């Protein structure tokens, strides 16, 4: 059962306001509980999974909706939505996404995730391999090196870890209640833990062709982390986004969106346009674009 809703969702950039209105908010009733989501576009199906800050319509979803049908599930508990009883882990959320795909799409589809969303997407591709066609992991959380400095969640440290261009950071439009809901959801799922040891051990089970994107200036998911993911997923490519930190869709929105779209459209034929590539700093460093 699906019910239409229309509460606000955080948008990135005033220029995107008009395009974002094409996304309709609805509620899916799954066997385990309910899951709110946004949907727009026509074409092959793509699931976009949001990060720990909450659901946002960013450059990737806006671009993909021109050639794909884009689904943005809201992780239960986020944006003042109800939790699902018995689901309090990231693998559990991946199970809900699997139910969501069965109920609304009915076949395997493309899956894109950023940060926490990439962690969910990775677990989906491990536990429910028949649901994932191709996979995009943008700054995937859960792989932070053991000797890395602590994560910051506020203040100047947080801004430095998140943004190469903090001046591009959009104004907060959520209500106080929604912000508190998102923080509570983070705690509920244990999102603040920088390393998911079970995921690190099992990420090599991913069979879907995978694009891994790392921010060249990302201090939250550093180069060592994304390289570890690349080394374990047999069919994968790793690209660094030049002049971008963790919030790569804010630092370099057009570049990131174009790469994701091209990967999903071309699949095994995906290559980086030579005109977009900056020379790597060393021969063993993956391509930076």
pLDDT given at position 14: 40
Q: In the prediction, which pLDDT does 4 show?
A: 39
The set of residues, in sequence order, having a beta carbon less than 8 Å from that of 48 and lying 6+ positions away, is 60, 61, 64, 70, 71, 72, 112, 113, 117
Q: What is the pTM of this model?
A: 0.90
Contact status, residue 78 vs residue 50, Cβ threshold 8 Å: yes
Question: SS3 of 86, please?
Answer: coil
CA distance 208 to 205: 9
Spans of all domains in the chain: 2-276
Coil, helix or strand for 284?
Answer: coil
- Nearest CA to 181 among 62, 28, 59, 36? 36
CATH topology of domain 2-276: Rossmann fold (3.40.50)
- Write down how long the chain is: 289
Report pLDDT for 173.
Answer: 87
Across the chain, which has 289 residues, the per-10-residue mean pLDDT values are: 42 50 94 97 98 95 97 96 97 98 98 98 98 98 92 89 94 88 94 93 98 97 97 96 97 97 93 48 54
SS in 3 state form for 125-194?
A: HHHCHHHEEEEEEECCCEECCCCCCCCCCCHHHHHHHHCCCHHHCCCCCCCHHHHHHHHHHHHHHCCCCC
Q: What is the pLDDT of residue 9?
A: 52
């Amino acid at each position: 059962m699906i019910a239409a809703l229309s509460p606000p969702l955080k948008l990135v950039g005033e220029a995107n306001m008009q395009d974002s209105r094409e996304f309709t908010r609805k509620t899916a009733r799954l066997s385990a509980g309910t899951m709110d989501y946004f949907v727009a576009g026509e074409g092959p199906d793509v699931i976009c999974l949001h990060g720990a800050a909450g659901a946002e319509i960013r450059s990737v979803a806006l671009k993909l909706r021109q050639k794909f049908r884009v689904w943005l599930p809201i992780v239960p508990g986020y944006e003042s939505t109800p939790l699902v009883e018995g689901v309090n882990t990231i693998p559990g959320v991946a199970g809900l996404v699997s139910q969501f795909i069965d109920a609304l799409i009915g076949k395997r589809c493309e899956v894109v995730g950023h940060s926490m969303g990439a962690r969910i997407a990775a677990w989906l591709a491990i536990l429910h391999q028949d649901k994932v066609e191709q996979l995009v992991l943008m700054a995937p959380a859960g792989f932070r090196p053991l000797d890395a400095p602590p994560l910051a969640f506020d203040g100047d440290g947080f801004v430095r870890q998140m943004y190469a261009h903090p001046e591009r950071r959009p104004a907060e439009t959520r209500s106080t209640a929604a912000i508190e809901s998102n923080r509570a959801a983070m705690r509920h799922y244990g999102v603040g833990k920088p390393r998911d040891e079970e995921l690190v051990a099992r990420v090599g089970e991913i069979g879907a062709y995978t694009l891994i994107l790392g921010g060249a200036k990302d201090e939250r998911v550093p180069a060592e982390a994304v390289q570890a993911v690349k080394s374990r997923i047999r069919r994968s490519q790793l690209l660094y986004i030049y002049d971008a930190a963790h919030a790569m869709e804010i630092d370099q929105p057009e570049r990131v969106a174009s790469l994701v779209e091209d990967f999903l459209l071309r699949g095994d034929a995906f290559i980086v346009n030579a005109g977009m590539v900056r020379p790597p700093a060393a021969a063993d460093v993956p391509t930076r674009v």
